[in-house]
Amino acid sequence: MNFIYLHTPNKHDYSILSSRDEAHQINSKGDRAITVNPFGVTKSYKQSNIDYAHLVYESDINKIKEKLAAKKIQYFLLRYPSPIEIEYYSKLANLDKKLFDENKVATADYYQAFQMRLYYYNGSENPKAKALDFAQLIYNSPLQNPIDGGREKLFSVYKLFRFVKGAIIKGKTDGPKEKVTLRVHLEDHMGKKHLYTNTSQSDENN
């Protein structure tokens, strides 16, 4: 977990969102504030896991932003969403979303969930969900072979995101309410290239 200390500031006016397992490791040094129950209902082990599941599988951007702001969460330590972990959290939280069908194939709900949009698309727009315009990838752990029945050939166990205000880019279109697509080529600390895509619509004034 040393990368946490290299990529986050040593102060207590913000919080890092993580699952309870990672929280114990980060807290071992005691110089980072951790949030494991973003809904703040109770500090019990089971309820905090339920709260965590309801946030990471949420798809409504406004709800996500409200919960992050309420707890002053500025970073999200995201662990590889293995099928075993997803099944555990979704059953524990008794989610109304169906993340897998009867053949264990991921559904639309799966790819629209907050956690999946960050892990698989780094917050970029994908065929099933809009872009997350407030999440910035700042760390990828080294790639390794799959575990826990994962389907990826190689994957990063951890990704660390910072929540930001985003940017407003002004421009001109040919007419009102036209589709506008922004594409930005990014490169992470490991030299891996990412394409961030976000689609919006021009206003009445073009």
**CA dist., res. 48 & res. 41, Å (int):** 8
Across the range 81-108, mean pLDDT stands at 81
So what's the pLDDT on residue 10?
Answer: 80
22-31, 73-82, 90-99: least confident range: 22-31
So what's the pLDDT on residue 146?
Answer: 59
Q: Which residue has the higher pLDDT, 167 or 34?
A: 34
Mean pLDDT of the chain: 79
Q: Report the amino acid identity of residue 180.
A: V
Percentage of residues in the chain with pLDDT exceeding 70? Answer: 82
Across the range 146-156, mean pLDDT stands at 61
pLDDT band for 161, please (50, 70, 90 cuts): very high
So what's the pLDDT on residue 41?
Answer: 44
So what's the pLDDT on residue 86?
Answer: 82
Residue range 21-35, pLDDT digits in tens: 787 777 776 577 777
Cα end-to-end span (Å), the chain: 47
Q: Which of 157, 17, 8 is CA-nearest to residue 76? A: 17
